Homo-oligomer: A and B are copies of this chain.
C-alpha cells in the first residue's frame, strides 16, 4: 500500500483527492493537513465522506509527512515550493496540483504569479504531469507539476495538429468555459450562487496564467512560434470544462485524415476519448470521471478546424490527473482507482 499524505485538504481538489483515494485499491490515506482545521474529522467538513474516511485534519507542524510515500499539494500557489525540497530530500515523492513547478522559466513564473520562486533549482527536475504527452518522464519522476485544468484541454486538443504541422501555430484561438468549482472553495462574492447562477461571463480576457503554461508546453511540438489567444468564461455549473479550440489549417488534409490522426495519437490513452467526427461532447458525460472527450469539426469544410474538448475540471483537470500520475510513478496500472463512470444525469 502506498502511504499518501495530502497538504491542504479543505478545498475542492482536496476533497476530490479524498473521494478518489479513499477507494483506490493500492492507497492508504495517512495524513491530511490543514492549518485552520487541526483536529477536525475530515468527514465533519465533507459529509459525503462519513463512514468512508476516518482521518482528521492535522496542523502542518504535527503531521509527519516524511513517513509518506507521496504527498499531494492541494494548496494555493507557493505552498508546495516551501515544503517540497525537504520532502524530496527525505525520499518522498511530491505531486503539486498548484502552479509552483509548471513553468520551467523562473522569470515567467514570477511575472505571472507575483511571488518569488524559492526553489528554482527544482524546476528542471519537475516533470509536467500530463500523462498522455509525458508518460515516460512521469514514470521516473519524483516531483510532478500537475497541469492546470484549462491547459490540459488545450494541449490535448492542439497537440496532434501541431505535431503533424497541419495548422498555423501563430493563430490559435481557444475559447474555454469552466464550471464554478474552478474558482475553488473560497468565500468570494463572485463565486456566490446569487452572483454566478443564471449568468455567463468571460473573465481575465486580457491575460490568464494558463496562457504561458499552455504556450510553453505546446511549443515543444512545433518549430513555428506558438501564439495563443485564450479566453476563459464562467459557466453556471459546478463541475465541467468545455474548450472550443480554433486553428487555421495550413495544409491540405481531409476530414478522414484529421480524424485518423487524432484516433492514432490517443489510441493507447485510457482517459482520452476521440468521439466521431462532428460529435458534440457534453461536459456531463465526464462528470465525476477522469475521462476527457473530444471531437473534430470543420465548418463548411473550410480552412478552420475546431476541436471540442470536455472534461471534469476537478478530475481530469486536477485530482484525477494527479492520481493518474501517482499510478505511473509507482508502477501501477494507469487506470487504478480511476474507473468511475460519469454521473449522468
Contacts and interface: CB of A to CB of B under 8 A. Distances in A.
A29 interface: no
A37 to B, nearest CB: 12
A341 B180 contact: no
A192 B197 contact: no
Interface string A190-230: 01111111111111011100000000000000000001011
A341 B304 contact: no
Contacts of A202: 242, 244, 280, 308
Interface in A15-33: 15, 19, 22-23
B197 A193 contact: yes
A312 B301 CA distance: 32
Interface residues of A, number: 86
Interface string A266-305: 0000000101001011111111110101000101101010
Contacts of A285: 47-48, 50
Contacts of A189: 185, 187
A238 B280 contact: no
A131 to B, nearest CB: 17
Nearest to A342: B48
A299 B236 contact: no
A193 B49 CA distance: 20
Given A200-B282, A282-B201, A275 B47 contact: yes
Contacts of A102: none
A298 B286 CA distance: 33
Given A191-B193, A340-B340, 19 more contacts: A19-B344, A47-B275, A47-B281, A47-B282, A48-B343, A175-B175, A177-B177, A185-B189, A187-B188, A192-B192, A192-B193, A193-B236, A198-B240, A200-B237, A201-B281, A202-B244, A205-B306, A207-B299, A314-B345
Interface of A: 12, 15, 19, 22-23, 46-52, 171, 173, 175, 177, 179-181, 183, 185, 187-189, 191-203, 205-207, 227, 229-231, 233, 235-240, 242, 244, 246, 248, 273, 275, 278, 280-289, 291, 293, 297, 299-300, 302, 304, 306, 308, 310, 314, 339-345
